[in-house]
Amino acid sequence: MNIVSKIDDWQAIRKTLTHQKIGFVPTMGHLHAGHLSLCESAKRENDVTVMSIFVNPTQFNQKNDFEKYPRTLENDIELLRAQQIDYLFAPDEKSMYPDDYAFQLHETAISRELEGEFRPGHFNGMLTVVLKLLNLIQPSRAYFGEKDFQQLVLIKKMVTALFLPIEIISCETVRAEDGLALSSRNSRLNPSQREKATQFPELLTSAFSLPQIREQLTSAGFKVDYIAEKWGRRLGAVWLDDIRLIDNISLEKV
């Protein structure tokens, strides 16, 4: 696996890959089985596989959340070597934002509801960095998990709106044995929080109405940001103490 941290170095490498299909998996690191499943799909469907690791500061609307986000680059590299990924692109903040975030990408409808309502500025940062990464990597296909479903919807619409010649591949959410959707933030849960957290996906997949799910979660000690149904999914975001969890399930499974 080749590790590339400088943008100029990657651009030089990219010029040598003109006749190959490139599969791209953008991440913020602290990799788990969900990320690795995206890598497996990318490897299976392309000639070259590229993963990026970049903890993007502009999509964190709380400085505390950005500072607490787990960074495990050495372990991530070992996991990717075992996966036989071709390239890891791991730039620093200065390289990705030479303009100090003066240029931003804004979406004016979907980004203002659900996650956008409770995380102002989050989707501006996410879309801006994803566009930068897609422009740099120039993949044939890019792979995103369905756990961040609103993000996935926005990225697909961005690629269409901006005429990017890239296929966005959505991959099913990978879950732990207890049903909790895999997330880098799960590592912050202590054992008692982890046990309680499993009630979240259980209630999302239940036959309860949305108000009933909210009431059950609140009674169990969660702070609920939203429970909603859109895009054929039931989506939710909750707080368990100072840890925020999001999840969604297909309405076909309710």
Annotated catalytic residue within 19, 30, 35, 122:
35
Are 26 and 156 in contact, with CB atoms under 8 Å apart?
no
Question: Which residues make Cβ contacts (< 8 Å) with residue 92, sequence separation at least 6?
Answer: 5
Q: Is 106 annotated in the active site?
A: no
DSSP letters spanning 156-194 = HHHHHHTT---EEEEEPPPB-TTSPBP-GGGGG--HHHH
Cβ–Cβ under 8 Å, residues 248 and 234:
yes
Counting Cα atoms < 13 Å in the Cβ hemisphere of 122 gives: 21
Within 8 A by CB and 6+ apart from 50, the residues are 22, 23, 24, 25, 85, 86, 87, 88, 89, 137, 139
- Classify strands 233-240 and 243-250 as parallel, antiparallel or unpaired: antiparallel
Closest CA to 14 of 164, 166, 138: 138
The catalytic residues are 35
